[in-house]
Amino acid sequence: MGKVVREELIRRLAGGEFISGQVLADSLGVSRTAISKSIQALTEMGLDVFKVHGKGYRLAQPIQLLQANQIQQHLHSLGANNPVEVHTIIDSTNSYLLRRLPNQVVNGQTCVAEYQSAGRGRRGKNWVSPFASHLYLSMYYPLEQGVAAAMGLSVVIGLAVADVLETSYQIDVQLKWPNDLYVDGKKIAGILVELEGQPTESGHSVIGLGLNIQMPAAQGEAIDQPWTDLSNHCNQSIDRNRLIANLIVQFNRRLAQHQQYGLSPMLADWQKRDIFLNQAVEIFSGSQVTRGICRGINANGALLIEVNGKVKPIYGGELSLRGQN
């Protein structure tokens, strides 16, 4: 019941007009106390709600909510037909699609949400997910040749996101292996690819993207690394519905390219955006630390590190500039 009340409150407050607490309580069949608790929950989710005696509740600014029909219209105009689900409140878009495997998803099916209560980054890290401020998107992609075919998927999606941000907003995007996007040296997006299946049998992947659009100040303080958002780097209004459609279309294109040709044709695209290329770096994998010079990636999506004059591939770990963790 609480989730239903919160979602209805969001719909009614989105336009930025005052809404009476008593009217809300009567129309939803709940107490004024329940309304007050739900308003507090919305505040904790990142919405700026204030109250004026005699008028009721109002958002400090109207918000543009995601609309499935608008996303589908944009997709159709671009020649794509991916099914898209829009959720107001969800635990995690990746988790939602993973729960639907294997028979309740189709190739390219996409889930987007206004808010994630349990958004995840790599290695189980929390992904800060304030309401209607960013973009939280997950797509299902089948692996007909087994999960080994997923090698390099985070590279493919990183390039797809960079394509869209550069074309739509004229932003210079930097890529950090294996799954982060930066602008001016600050993180703007992260990718999480999760797999299910066996190396040599058909399997499944869920590709998740978290992209900062307009970070609320309070939520930004909870992030323990330099970050930025899209609104800081473009002077135009950001239509999240259109942006989602553009991202889905570019995901489709880059994934089709990867399926047909592999990563080789994309290596030059990666190298020109590689934030650590030819710099001294450290790779942390469990208790092991590898230090060397970053030499880009190979056709399998592995990081290439030069150590004592020899270049070797690294397939997993946390990458940072030497001396910076």
pLDDT in tens, 250-281: 999 999 999 999 999 999 999 999 999 999 99
Question: What pTM did the predictor assign?
Answer: 0.89
Using one digit for the tens of pLDDT, what is the confidence trace for 36-55? 888 888 888 888 888 888 88
Go through the domains of the chain in sequence order and give each one's CATH number. 2-59 (1.10.10.10), 68-271 (3.30.930.10), 280-321 (2.30.30.100)
Active site residue 322: yes
Q: Which long-range contacts (CB under 8 A, 24 or more apart) does 16-22 make?
A: 16/58, 16/59, 16/61, 16/62, 16/63, 17/58, 18/52, 18/55, 18/56, 18/57, 18/58, 19/56, 19/57, 19/58, 20/55, 20/56, 21/51, 21/56, 21/57
Residues 115 and 130: their CA atoms lie apart, in Å, by: 6
Q: Which residue is catalytic, options 32, 99, 125, 322?
A: 322
Active site residue 122: yes
Q: Enumerate the known binding-site residues.
A: 92-94, 116, 120-122, 187
- Assess whether pLDDT exceeds 90 at residue 212: yes
Contact 214, 239 (CB under 8 A): no
Residues 183 and 197: their CA atoms lie apart, in Å, by: 35
Active site residue 187: yes
Q: Which residue is catalytic, options 6, 58, 187, 254?
A: 187
| 21: confidence class by pLDDT, cuts 50, 70, 90 | confident
**Order of strands across the sheet with 280-285?**
310-314, 303-307, 288-297, 280-285, 318-321
Q: Which residue is catalytic, options 37, 122, 186, 242?
A: 122
Helix, strand, coil % in the chain, rounded to nearest 5: 35, 30, 35
Q: Enumerate the known binding-site residues for biotin.
A: 92-94, 116, 120-122, 187
Look over the chain and give the mean of its residue pLDDT values, rounded to a whole number: 90
